[in-house]
Amino acid sequence: MKRKLRINGHSHLLPYPEEIPQFMKEKEIFWVDDERKHMLQKGWKRPVTDSSFFLDEKLLWMEKNKLDHAVVLNLSQLYGNGLRLEEMKKALRFQNDFNAKVQREHPSKFTCGFVIHPGFIYGALDEMKRCVEELGLKVLCLPTHFMDSIGQWRCVFDEENDRIFELADKYKLAIEIHPYDGDKMIKLENINWRFHLIWMLAQCGDAYHFYTLNGMQERFKNIRTCFAHGGQLAQMNLGRRIQGFDGRPDLFEGKTHPRKAVGHKNIFFDTLVHDTDSLKLMFKRQGTSQVLMGLDDPYPLGEMESDAQSSYPGKILDLAVNENIITETEKGQIWEDNVLQWLFGNDEVAKQELIKKILS
């Protein structure tokens, strides 16, 4: 029996310090110190907690953990919120060119995404065309929320952004929805990692709320959208959303009922929910076919090697099998088939081309 590939649908990669343009450090947009110990922005500093943040070390880490391939998303720090227009365009262009180079030079190991800023629609559409047609990138990375041109925070699925999804639909893109910048949106003191541990889940839930209310899974049938971190609040909050929709129809005129999105073939969630009870609820609600492997490596909230947590990449699915939540067959599908379905939809030729690259 052919072994199932182990494809990680949620990974990140830092450029080496010398790869980051000087203007990004001078403008304090984003940089990595020469010792590779910290990533930095103006007024912000975060430790590099694992050597696999960087390319050569990532490849060694993947080999050690028997990972065949990874989908590399953009860095959340490079969504461009709050930057001046020209600085934002240059920073995002650097991120996209970096990811394209990684995919071009390591096609058997990485499929890479690209990022745009929805607050500047015409530039966003131009960058989408460049990334797809010139760089060969097919995964669109979007934040749950963005800052518009007048400083207002908006959900990425506001109807004024339909042109982005019309173009994504034309290109038949996979889309990744990822939360960030909660500390800029919410007036609470940033302590005890509250914005990563609590508010990121709320951001994903809010984005899912509007994606489904606007019926985007049916309006744009060629895109396949994955919500990061299991869209965890989206699973827990379904009953409340249904009761609100049914109880106050005056607030939802022209919107789509939340039930219609549950288990939809073009809506995916990754496995990064950290416990099997949450995973079991997601499987029960959405079906195992709509869940794909996502490690969120190399961040410490990702599924990384950890003695303190007795953790390793793939642990949550191993536990799910041991607890009879899923079968070995379903586990293999989550690692391979479901990731490929998110990436390529019904394009069987594209799936086989990637498989050949991985096995070459």
pLDDT tens per residue across all 360 residues of the chain = 688 999 999 999 999 999 999 999 999 999 999 999 999 999 999 999 999 999 999 999 999 999 999 999 999 999 999 999 999 999 999 999 999 999 999 999 999 999 999 999 999 999 999 999 999 999 999 999 999 988 999 999 999 999 999 999 999 999 999 999 999 999 999 999 999 999 999 999 999 999 999 999 999 999 999 999 999 899 999 999 999 999 999 999 999 999 999 999 999 999 999 999 999 999 999 999 999 999 999 999 999 998 888 899 999 999 999 999 999 999 999 999 999 999 999 999 999 999 999 998
For tokens 């889309």, name the residue.
175
Please state, in angstroms and rounded to a whole number, the distance separating the CA atoms of residues 98 and 92: 10
Amino acid code (one letter) for 325: I
Please state, in angstroms and rounded to a whole number, the distance separating the CA atoms of residues 156 and 162: 10
For tokens 């500093």, name the residue.
45
The b-or-e profile of 314-339 (16+ CB within 10 A means b, else e) is bbbbeebeeeebbeeebbbbbbbbbb
Helix (H, G, I), strand (E, B) or coil at 309: coil
Please state, in angstroms and rounded to a whole number, the distance separating the CA atoms of residues 99 and 89: 15
Q: Give the predicted TM-score (pTM) of the model.
A: 0.96
224-227: strand order across its sheet: 7-11, 69-72, 110-115, 139-143, 174-178, 224-227, 267-270, 291-292
Residues in the chain: 360
Q: How many other CB atoms are found less than 10 A from the CB of residue 123? A: 15
